Structure 1
Amino acid sequence: MKQIIIVAGGTGNLGKRIVRALLAKDTEVRVLARLSTDSEKLRKLESSGAKIFKVDMSHPEEIAKACKGASCVVSALAGLRDVVIDAQKVLLEGAVAAGVPRFIPSDYSLDFTQLDPGNNRNLDLRREFHQILDKAPIAATSIFNGPFTELLTNEMPMILPKFRSVLFWGDADQKMDFTTMDDVAAFTAKVALDYSTPRYLWIAGDQISAREIRDIQSALSKEKFRLIRAGGIGLLNTFITIGRTLSPAEKDLYPAWQGMQYMRDMAEGKAKVSLYDNDRYGERKWTKVKNVLEQKKAQKH
């Protein structure tokens, strides 16, 4: 008998990948969608084999009906308090009401349990939701994967091709975890089908430093890239404080100062762990930073 897995946020960049990975495992996938969700996105998911349940995400009883018989609820919801706390809380209530035994929250990030509270707004919201989740009568598993590797090719201002430079803060040899969205999705699908998962799991497609990224970029471009140290962690903290004071943008998901908070947390190395669960489901060929940068270069030609 097929396991039934619920996915909330299935039309998002990560969510649709999780849906695809689950469908590849001969699983019944039910995607919870807001009433206002774009119909074309839902049509594509439905044509791939997913079952679509359009629900009022503010009503746990509607969610509970869609969750009937499910073995796990996977959240891939992305946003600020109204989503990470409020919407996930309703999703959790619906899962509990339906008797779903397991819940995967929308973490997919640095291991914020190792970080100081109050220093990263987006991660603090996830930490706050954990306080709610851990009191609920349901087994939960969080997946920590570091930042998505794809960020290196666009949103993360680290590789600067125009200036043939790699920007870093702190120590150029500090290792950082990166994992592609496809790898995170594939691992999440296996976790969703695994009844024996612990509270936390850690994965990293690659563990790499700014210096190593510089070397890879130099080899790929056949041009010498240099390292630029923007400053120490203390200076970065000062920029974060100034940026948040002058341009709060509290309603934006990723204002500039929020990106700086992520950079600081990576550069400090506090979220780095010593033991990873990459081989929990057997050996897998994880996508490296070099692979992603090679693909980006190929797309330009």
Structure 2
Amino acid sequence: MSLIVKNVAIAGASGNVGARVLDALLNIGFNVTVLSRMSKAFPTGAYVKVVDFNSAESLSAAVAGQDAVIDTTFSLDVETPLRLIDAAVHSGVYRFITSDFGLDPDLPGVHDMPIFGRKKASYEAVKRYAAQNRLTYTVVACGAFLDWGLSSGFAGLDLEGKQASIFGDGNNVVPWTTLNDVGIATANVLIHPHETLNRPVYVHTVFMSQNQVLDEAKKGLGKEGWNTTYNDMDSLLEKALADLQAGRISASVFEVQIQYCLATKRLAHPWARDDNSLLGLKEWDSDKVKELIQSIAHKTA
């Protein structure tokens, strides 16, 4: 199989991650095919194929002739990513990038969280095919999404209301990566197919604890008026898993599992291996984090 990647198919290109990956691919100059459930507008330069993600035949036909396939879809469905991986193998695709974009998949315990069941299944599938020399793969480990986490409240900060919900003691230092940096790193994987062969790559915009992020918020938005709550993540996780088992499904059931990981050093900590320079990223200083917080707060005000 060729090491030169020119033709790239992407699934999930209208999502938060997928849109950034698509932009980065087009900026580099790849021939990009967007796999979409329906006809819709995408940036100029992208070719759109309407596919049936429930059909192995439709997916195999759609990725025929592609050098790489990138999965940026996000859902709890396990079968769709596995079907996409199988289609890539069937059509002789060289490189597959899984829809992981999170914590280190090789850390024991990470993929045991139910929320990561989809990622676990995809990782096991690409490793199995790689061992048979039928596919190569890359997983992009980026920690938590910095800008999305701040704007959505997932990072525990309500910037407008000055409310902080801290995971545990808030002191665990973890990787945070902006969506734009995730897009750039993912596209650049395909420029370095040998260096990124059959492994996770590890990128970050910053390594910070939740308390450090809160400190930057206070610097940028003023120290007065903050209300901070510290959460017992063990009890929150226990409740979330009980709710999940009982079929009481809510967004918090899934968010708590990730937040628990971010509070737990054995599951989330600064990468031992750093691929920032390989994949075109530069680490931010704390001032840039403060500026990002200010810009997000001004948009929501």
Shorter chain as normaliser: what TM range?
0.7 to 0.9
- 1:100 alignment partner in structure 2: 93
Kindly report which structure 2 residues correspond to 1:181-192, keeping only aligned pairs within 5 A, or say none: 181-192=179-190
Distance 1:239 1:285 in 2: 32
CA drift of 1:144 comes to: 0.6
Which residue identity is paired with 1:141? T
Q: TM-score, normalised by structure 2?
A: 0.85
Figure out how many residues of one structure are paired with residues of the other and give that number: 287
Distance 1:87 1:278 in 2: 30
Is contact 1:170–1:229 with CA below 8 Å preserved after alignment?
A: no
Let me know the Cα RMSD of the aligned residues. Answer: 2.6
Which residue identity is paired with 2:242? T
Distance 2:221 2:127 in 1: 48
CA deviation profile, 1:230-251 (whole Å, cap 9, x unmatched): 24xxx42222222443465859
Distance 1:12 1:169 in 2: 27
CA drift of 1:221 comes to: 1.4
Q: Provide the identity percentage.
A: 22
Distance 1:140 1:21 in 2: 19
Q: TM-score, normalised by structure 1?
A: 0.85
Kindly report which structure 2 residues correspond to 1:1-301, keeping only aligned pairs within 5 A, or say none: 3-34=6-37, 37=38, 39=39, 42-43=40-41, 45=42, 47-80=43-76, 82=77, 85-116=78-109, 120-136=113-129, 137-149=134-146, 150-156=148-154, 158-161=156-159, 164-196=162-194, 197-198=196-197, 199-224=199-224, 228=228, 230-231=230-231, 235-246=232-243, 255-270=251-266, 271-272=268-269, 273-282=271-280, 284=282, 288-300=288-300
SS in 1 for 2:164: strand
CA deviation profile, 1:45-90 (whole Å, cap 9, x unmatched): 1x5211011112222232222222221110001101x3xx211111
CA drift of 1:16 comes to: 1.7
SS in 1 for 2:292: helix
CA deviation profile, 1:143-175 (whole Å, cap 9, x unmatched): 010111121222316124466443323333321
CA drift of 1:117 comes to: 5.9
Which sections of structure 2, spanning at least 5 residues, go unmatched?
none
Is contact 2:71–2:97 with CA below 8 Å preserved after alignment?
A: yes
